Amino acid sequence: MDADIKNSKTGLPAWSRQTQRQHDCESAQNAKQLAGGSERDAMFACLQAIVLDGLRHGFFDCVITSEVVKDRKRRVVISAGKSHQFTIAEEDLHN
């Protein structure tokens, strides 16, 4: 099915839903930087936006991977059409 065809449940074309989800995740990351929030909070806000968008759509695929990187930080990658990467400091895990 063509991605530009409107979904009967959301009324939005597929590219518009993807753009909105990207905007929600980018907004979360920008808000974190402006408010001094943590990368962990931005990751959860992005994940929430992806899940809610998927639930509105009716189905979705999402893959979350994590690995320990330099200075014992955790790199989390959320892949749901587009990949969103977050690097979380170990001390942010204890809050």
**Segments making up each domain of the chain, as ranges:** 14-94
Composition of the chain by helix, strand, coil, percent to 5: 50, 25, 25
Strand ranges inside 1-95, DSSP E: 63-68, 74-80, 82-88
Q: By three-state DSSP, how is residue 21 classified?
A: helix
Tens digit of pLDDT per residue, the chain (95 long)? 444 444 444 455 655 555 555 566 766 556 555 446 789 999 999 999 999 999 999 989 999 999 999 999 999 999 999 999 999 999 998 86
